[in-house]
Structure 1
């Protein structure tokens, strides 16, 4: 079993760390905005004062924090991971951040004597709770093989995409597809509702045809039941689409659908919906239509 540092115990990180504890690993973390969740304390998780202290007692350090600046602060800020890094320590970033920054972080960890793997995830809160995440991995073959046993505890579909940053590139592509599919499902259900059809039966029928998708299944049900408590928050999806649009500009690439989805998320935020689940994009489209989807 490994000595693992896990930094970032939010909606996703909490169950992921729990699975590692259940598998018999030692897990050390650092308190940030909230105390250590009791269920993790009951399983034996330990708390230390800083990311530096986490690294000092760990063979592997996993980060699962919101954005690129957060990862940089945890790794390279005052009392950051790099200050406590031991030779050969594996650093696994499972956050969703900028691919180019990831390449820089990998070089800096390598220069400090460690190994770096970027491994963002997809599957939302349910995937994290059920250890069924999709994990998209960038890094060396050796780094991937060291990390794989831990990934198998937390996820179901695990793919070594390529070199450093390629996992993050894959995640950005994932978020483009997810956002546009949420928009498509929202518009389809909104159309059906406005036309007077039973949207629950419409969704049921669509799940049997070519329009079937995990978004239609999970988020379509959320939309019909109007349960917008977050599994993945609007403001986090906005952050991911910003990465996509910034990357597209650097590549001289047009992503009009992505830009439109970002504007719809911005409309959600403008109505106080930054903390809604991203399926709440439906509300922005309902406002434009002056119609609420009926059950």
Structure 2
């Protein structure tokens, strides 16, 4: 699809969504935006994006609709019903849900969209606020391969590792693998940094030593520095990580799979939520362990 002619509607201009939409805009697409709180889209509007009052208004005028919202319930609310995206996007249009959501919901969107002659992809991302700002996200895509291929130029405005994973729902399943791996890794990163502190070591020196060895990971390189500085602002919210882990636990249970690391991680993040830290970044687990 020619980007000079395609209009992209983007719903959900939060911590990551705003940067993703901005990168699309910078690549010469015409971009419509909608968000529950309009002020969060002000910067995009100043940069040239056009505001739409409702998801319906946005869908009616867009060739491609991208959603990046919080929870599966939010996805359902904006996709279905008379005023939903599926019933209002033009036939032959494209809808791409980049929210981390349920694989079963991705399949439902795909099936309902197909009835309307609309192409659907599920394309959750990983990389946090840093990846979103730098257009370096990992994008995991489920849906028809031919549809995926047509959307590659658009995905390339947001990410650097873009992979077609398989049929509808496969993108979401892959994201669950990603979150399961992160869950245990985050515990290890936080424990390591707290250990360094308690042992009287220079945390920054320890971090620079171990991040290039076998312990290296994205979380160690990108989030441990924030922990050390006491920066717990969200690149990815605790509340959204808990949501992801709940989905992963449910899917694992449906497959008869034991995930002890994931269960432990969720129990720790649940404690953070109980301590009113839902709106902090996931690196705030450091504070829970640093007692």
1:227-251 Cα distance to aligned partner (Å, 9 max, x none): 0011101000000000110111111
Q: Does 1:220 align with 2:245?
A: no
- 2:131 equivalent in structure 1: 127
1:244-276 Cα distance to aligned partner (Å, 9 max, x none): 101111111110000000011011111111011
- 1:104 equivalent in structure 2: 108
- 2:200 equivalent in structure 1: 196
TM-score of the aligned structures, taking structure 1 as reference length: 0.94
- 2:233 equivalent in structure 1: 229
CA distance 1:221–1:31, shift in 2 (3 Å): closer
Counterparts of 1:191 and 1:242, CA distance in 2: 29
Counterparts of 2:243 and 2:76, CA distance in 1: 16
Q: Does 1:25 align with 2:48?
A: no
- 1:14 equivalent in structure 2: 18
- 2:89 equivalent in structure 1: 85
Counterparts of 2:110 and 2:171, CA distance in 1: 12
1:24-82 Cα distance to aligned partner (Å, 9 max, x none): 11111224223363331123211222212111111111011111111111111451112
Q: 1:71 aligns with which of 59, 75, 79?
A: 75
Alpha carbons 2:33, 2:41 under 8 Å: kept: no
Counterparts of 2:70 and 2:211, CA distance in 1: 32
Alpha carbons 2:34, 2:41 under 8 Å: kept: no
1:164-215 Cα distance to aligned partner (Å, 9 max, x none): 0000011111111112111001111222222222222111110231111121
What's the CA shift for 1:137? 0.5
Counterparts of 1:213 and 1:11, CA distance in 2: 22
Q: Structure 1 residues 171-180 or 186-195, which shifts more?
A: 186-195
Root-mean-square deviation over aligned CA pairs: 1.2
- 1:293 equivalent in structure 2: none
Unaligned 5+ residue runs, structure 1? Answer: 291-295
Alpha carbons 2:137, 2:160 under 8 Å: kept: yes
What's the CA shift for 1:83? 2.4
Counterparts of 1:207 and 1:124, CA distance in 2: 18
TM-score of the aligned structures, taking structure 2 as reference length: 0.95
- 1:279 equivalent in structure 2: 283
- 2:260 equivalent in structure 1: 256
Q: Structure 1 residues 244-253 or 195-204, which shifts more?
A: 195-204
Counterparts of 1:67 and 1:31, CA distance in 2: 14
What's the CA shift for 1:151? 0.3
Alpha carbons 2:35, 2:41 under 8 Å: kept: no
What secondary structure is seen at the aligned counterpart in 2 of 1:82?
A: coil
Q: 1:117 aligns with which of 121, 128, 148?
A: 121
What's the CA shift for 1:84? 1.2
Unaligned 5+ residue runs, structure 2? Answer: none
What's the CA shift for 1:278? 0.2
